[in-house]
Amino acid sequence: MNIINVVGARPNLMKIAPIIDELATHPYVRQLLVHTGQHYDDNMSGVFFRELGLPEPDIYLGVGSGSHARQTAAVMVAFEDVLAQKQPDLVIVVGDVNSTLACALTAAKMGVLVAHVEAGLRSFDRSMPEEINRILTDLLADYLFTTCAEANQNLRREGIPEEKVFFVGNVMIDTLLRHRQAALQRDTLARYSLAPGQYGVVTLHRPSNVDNGRQFGDIIDSLAILQELLPLIFPLHPRTRQNLRELDLYLRLASLPHMTLTEPLGYLDFLNLMSQARLVLTDSGGIQEETTILGVPCLTLRPNTERPITITEGTNHLVGAGKHGIIETSQQILNNGSKPVHRPALWDGQAAQRIVDVLLRHRTAL
Ligand code: UD1
């Protein structure tokens, strides 16, 4: 069985890691790792390879940054050559980034089977580039691995045949549970002069929050109020840092007395920071899931989420990007702590094993 695993951007790395480990336990599986190079900085990619024990990519496409069409097209052109040369039986793509769609589309057109891990999530907001990537990747995939029952319902509604869909749990949580103890051993808090349970973590990188000066300025005003109540640490995504400079907002944010700005952090430092935070403010998808498992309150600065289970069962609150929602909800959490949490079904560290079991059961088709 010849499998190509694809990664492109930071959030792909923690999702593919447990799948690679699991596939490696089966001697008749030959796997290659292709990195598209959508994310290329060491602190967006290299550090995760080292900390998660990922093998070096066998093939690096080096596509880099660009507009959506250019980036997607560049991945497709390069990946077509890889498929022609390597002739795999199956391509595994994860998540919802441009590399996910580009490789799924290329493989499907060349008659190579596609497995999509984290299928069926929907924000029902097509202004998000990831929503387009999710819908199209799911249409193309032959094996759709889901993290929750809602995802199965979404796929059913879109007419995806039931026999292609497998509810297996959450590979991102496999990785979190595997690395949690090692993360807590690190001196991350001391390095940033933070005390356990007495700080908040902020991450923002969605175009809808950080590409528009007025919107981003409003969020910074809210953070300015909040950091008076709770010191904040904010690792800056490259898009966010670049926009802060271009929109002339950097000094406004950096001059807040209880705000620490850092470069993007590695997996273990960031997991340590999240684990011991009083609350987390984010527009990331994965962090909504991770905070649910860690039992740390999460404020999602978006109008919608493709991960509603983190609200109904987890610690997530959808607050939008307005001052009222951010401050009111933060105050409520500071006063009352987290809401009760149920661990979502199958978010138990075994998702990768279930995925590989399904693939091996179907191996005559591969
Ligand atoms: C991408 C994903 C998003 C994911 C996020 C996680 C898409 C459409 N978006 O968004 O779903 O949540 O990754 O980080 O695929 N840059 C660097 N160094 C890097 C990578 C990017 O400086 O290593 C800068 C470049 O200026 C680039 C910008 O960041 O233009 C944005 O990168 P890009 O890959 O286009 O999208 P993200 O915003 O990172």
Triad 240, 96, 47: Cα angle to 5°: 55
Alpha-carbon distances, residue 180 vs 14, 168, 331, 349 (angstroms) = 13, 21, 28, 12
User: Which ligand 1 atom lies nearest to the CA of residue 237?
Assistant: 14
Query: Exposed, middle or buried, 187 (CB in 10 Å: 0-12/13-18/19+)?
Result: exposed
Strand, coil or helix: what is 68?
helix
pLDDT of residue 338: 85
Backbone phi, then psi, for 78, in 5-degree steps? -70, -35
Which tokens hold the place of 351? Answer: 């998702």
* Distance from Cα 98 to the centre of ligand 1, integer Å: 9
Percent of the chain with pLDDT over 90: 98
Task: Grade residue 80 by pLDDT with cuts at 50, 70 and 90.
Answer: very high
Instruction: Name the residue with tokens 């598209």.
Output: 36
pLDDT of residue 245: 98
278-290 pLDDT per residue, tens: 999 999 999 999 9
What's the mean per-residue pLDDT of the chain? 97
Which tokens hold the place of 204? Answer: 């923002």
Q: How far is 173 from 119, CA to CA, in rounded Å? A: 15
Q: Are 278 and 334 in contact (CB under 8 A)?
A: yes
The one catalytic residue in 39, 205, 237, 317 is: 205
Pick from 91, 156, 94, 90: nearest CA to 119: 94
Q: How far is 354 from 366, CA to CA, in rounded Å? A: 17
- Is a pLDDT exceeding 80 seen at residue 313? yes
- Minimal-distance CA residue to ligand 1 atom 18: 41
225-247 pLDDT per residue, tens: 999 999 999 999 999 999 999 99
**How many alpha carbons lie under 13 Å from residue 41 in its C-beta half-sphere?**
11
Full-prediction pTM beyond 0.95? yes
- Is a pLDDT exceeding 80 seen at residue 366? no
- Minimal-distance CA residue to ligand 1 atom 13: 9
- Enumerate domains of the chain plus CATH numbers: 2-170+347-365 (3.40.50.2000), 180-336 (3.40.50.2000)
pLDDT of residue 283: 98
pLDDT of residue 239: 98
Which residues does ligand 1 sit against, CB inside 6 Å? 9-11, 38-41, 44, 65, 96-98, 129-130, 205, 237-239, 242
Task: Grade residue 337 by pLDDT with cuts at 50, 70 and 90.
Answer: confident
pLDDT of residue 55: 98
* Pocket-testing residue among 15, 40, 94, 239, ligand 1, by greatest number of atoms within 8 A of Cβ: 239
Minimum mean pLDDT among 2-6, 41-45, 338-342: which range?
A: 338-342
* Distance from Cα 161 to the centre of ligand 1, integer Å: 32
pLDDT of residue 168: 99
- Is a pLDDT exceeding 70 seen at residue 365? no
List Cβ neighbours of 245 (8 Å cut-off, separation of 6 or more).
none
- Minimal-distance CA residue to ligand 1 atom 28: 239
Active site annotation includes 205: yes
Strand partners, 115: 92, 143
